Structure 1
Amino acid sequence: MFKRNKPSATDRKRELFAQGATQSLLKNDIKNFHSLSQLVLSAGGLRKTASKHSKTTHFEIEILDAQTRKQICIVDKVSPTSTLRDVKQKIHKACPQWYPSRIGLQLEHGGPFLKDYVTIQSIAASSIVTLYFTDLGQQVSWTTVFLAEYTGPLLIYLIFYMRLTYIYDAKESSRRFRHPVVHLACFCHCLHYARYLLETLFVHKLSGEHTPLKNLIKGCAFYWGFTCWIAYYINHPQYTPPSFGNRQITVSVLNFLICEAGNHFINVVLAHPNHTGHNACFPSPSYNPFTWLFMFVSCPNYTYEIGSWISFTIMTQTLPVGIFALLLSIQMSLWAQKKHKVYLKKFDSYVHRKSAMIPFIL
């Protein structure tokens, strides 16, 4: 057998030096690999998606004037879950002359106004967010607009229905017999606007957003003005009943009531959470036959609304009602086409075969 020689001191030093160099190289390789991994992750989309705002606990909001691009104020220490409504409240504290309802915020100059429910985290690209400010002017809530638009016609029509002496001649009013259609017209007109008022208060889920005051003025002028014109002719002592008598009146009244019921049930369906939330789906017909119109049009509430006023026109056979129904039809057809385009983008598989308001036509 061969006897193994005992390593010398020099050999031990060389061996230890080699082991140290190997460990140092391994450590350097691991460190370099880690650095390379960090570089790849930071350059790619994975790190950006995974750690977006993960270390940002508060944001700083810079508010610039949309016209002059000058800085108005800075809102600091804004949490990621804060909404633009919260930001508007803080802007109001810094600048009391601007109420939250007057403040319009844009993510980019000339872009759309952001909704109040949008969170800061969803629009922030970094810890500093720049928003453009626009003064929207004096605002009113949509609830106020609807209540004013519908309360006026309800009261105005009743004033003309009572044939007050400062509107009609007292002697002529006392001598003239009122045709039953005059009473039916008052009932149908009041029913229509009373339903609108009740639905505004208890059915419609308004977002709480506001609209310029000029829209309230224009809406009230339109509805109140036409109500005065319509009520004056229908309740006039010299008003003549429809040409085809009771048959024309009966058919039109029944159709009016059917359209009013259909409009109400459609509004109830549209107010359901499944059709208004983020996971909304297109309304589908139910066991209620008034909802079956969803199979043919995207906006059956407008269809029923136009049907009501066409029926009222036939029932009363007056020119002012016909002009009002025509103008309302034009406006609602524009609204329906606009909503239909939105539905096509959002629910393509549901509404691509439907019409906007009139089945197979419009």
Structure 2
Amino acid sequence: MSVGAIALPNPRCTYPERNAVALSFTINMTLNLASRGKKIRGLPKSVDFDLNGRIEVLKQQISENTKLPLHRLRLSTVDGTVLADGKTLRDYGVGGGTTVWVKDLGPQVGWRTVFIYEYLGPLFIHPLFVYYRKSIYGSSYSLSTVQLVAFVMVMLHFLKREYESIFVHRFSADTMPLRNIFKNSFHYHVLSGFLLAYFVYGPWHATDVISVKKLLSLTGLWLFAEISNAKVHIILRDLRPAGSRKHVIPYGYGFNWVSFPNYFFESLCWFAFALLTNSYAAWLFLFVSSTQMWLWAKKKHARYLKEFPNYPRSRKIYIPFIL
């Protein structure tokens, strides 16, 4: 390990420079590098790096050697702690001779790209079943009021999702594995796309009758949930400045009840939809999507409790006053 020069103030400098002490130094050390998982071609066995250097600079150095894009590289310590961009080796207690593990995450795709693509599915699939129902079901019939309202709900919901993906959401990571786009698309293209559309717009629901009171109540509940979900997303967006990875405790609308009101309001809007259509496909999608959001919420809630000692212990995770 070598220590660079320390720049001391010039004794002949005039006030206020005389009182200013500028310290600029580097502490270079040798780091061992090892592949975690599949062996990375071109990965050097060791590199010299500044203890005070930022993690993204070390990634850049490794990227130049391995020819892998930066977003495919994940650095971690021997115990699995991920070295985050914006921090230094000193922040993690990494010293000379320490092994930094390098993992190739494989082909990546942007989070925003994935969101836009997966929400496009229902926006194309539902109109297909509505406008070509004679060819699909083999009979000509008029849609019931329930089916027409359900169609409007689905289209507005996913148009809102697309708008938020483009203009509202800020992501804590830039990319995800390319394979995830197929898994995520199955959920939206198949479950809320083909399956939901096929059973909701079928001729067996064309004769469904609903009272005006029930229709207005469920539509009002759905609208409340959608607006509330959008409001929570805006609060979350404003908590994180553009380009920041900063984590803070969220407060405001819905957060006094649960840690993740956006998930709760999302489930609430699909609950209203399922009550309206009374379709097995709608209830199935509500169950699957809510289960997935519960798993996400539980994991993120545990991270909040670990990261923030002053996190409000009275908050439920997902459902106000219950769960």
Into which bin does the TM-score normalised by the smaller protein fall?
0.7 to 0.9
Structure 1 position 192 matched with structure 2 position 157: yes
Task: Give 1 or 2: higher helix fraction.
Answer: 1
- Give, in angstroms, the shift of residue 166 of structure 1: 4.3
- Give, in angstroms, the shift of residue 236 of structure 1: 2.2
Structure 1 position 342 matched with structure 2 position 311: no
Cα offsets for 1:196-240 (capped at 9, x unmatched): 111111111113432222221111011110110111122223424
Structure 1 position 273 matched with structure 2 position 273: no
Q: 1:354 aligns with which of 304, 315, 323?
A: 315
The one-letter code of the counterpart of 1:136 is L
The one-letter code of the counterpart of 1:325 is L
Q: Is the radius of gyration larger for structure 1 or structure 2?
A: 1
Structure 1 position 99 matched with structure 2 position 69: yes
Corresponding residue for 1:222?
187
Corresponding residue for 2:147?
182
- Give, in angstroms, the shift of residue 78 of structure 1: 4.0
Cα offsets for 1:80-121 (capped at 9, x unmatched): 55433332232222122x33222221111x513322333334
Cα offsets for 1:222-267 (capped at 9, x unmatched): 1110110111122223424556433322211110010000000011
Gap change, CA 1:64 and 1:233, over 3 Å in 2: same
Tell whether the 8 Å contact from 2:146 to 2:210 is kept in structure 1 after alignment: no
RMSD: 2.9
Provide structure 2 residue ranges, at least 5 long, that are not aligned to the other structure. Answer: 1-22
Corresponding residue for 1:162?
131
Q: 1:87 aligns with which of 58, 73, 87?
A: 58
Gap change, CA 1:337 and 1:135, over 3 Å in 2: same
Gap change, CA 1:166 and 1:244, over 3 Å in 2: closer
Tell whether the 8 Å contact from 2:142 to 2:206 is kept in structure 1 after alignment: no
Corresponding residue for 1:143?
112
Gap change, CA 1:79 and 1:343, over 3 Å in 2: same
CA distance in 2, matches of 1:279, 1:164: 48
Number of residues paired by the alignment?
A: 298
Structure 2 residue matching 1:73: 3-state secondary structure: coil
Gap change, CA 1:355 and 1:124, over 3 Å in 2: closer
Structure 1 position 294 matched with structure 2 position 255: yes
Normalised by the size of structure 2, how large is the TM-score? 0.81
Structure 1 residue matching 2:179: 3-state secondary structure: helix
Tell whether the 8 Å contact from 2:239 to 2:248 is kept in structure 1 after alignment: no
Cα offsets for 1:130-160 (capped at 9, x unmatched): 3112222222221122112111121111221
Gap change, CA 1:350 and 1:120, over 3 Å in 2: closer
Tell whether the 8 Å contact from 1:64 to 1:132 is kept in structure 2 after alignment: yes
Tell whether the 8 Å contact from 1:56 to 1:127 is kept in structure 2 after alignment: no
Provide structure 1 residue ranges, at least 5 long, that are not aligned to the other structure. Answer: 1-52, 286-290
Tell whether the 8 Å contact from 1:255 to 1:308 is kept in structure 2 after alignment: yes
The farther-off stretch of 69-78 and 303-312 is: 69-78
Tell whether the 8 Å contact from 1:248 to 1:314 is kept in structure 2 after alignment: no
Normalised by the size of structure 1, how large is the TM-score? 0.73
Identical-pair percentage: 28
Gap change, CA 1:101 and 1:280, over 3 Å in 2: closer
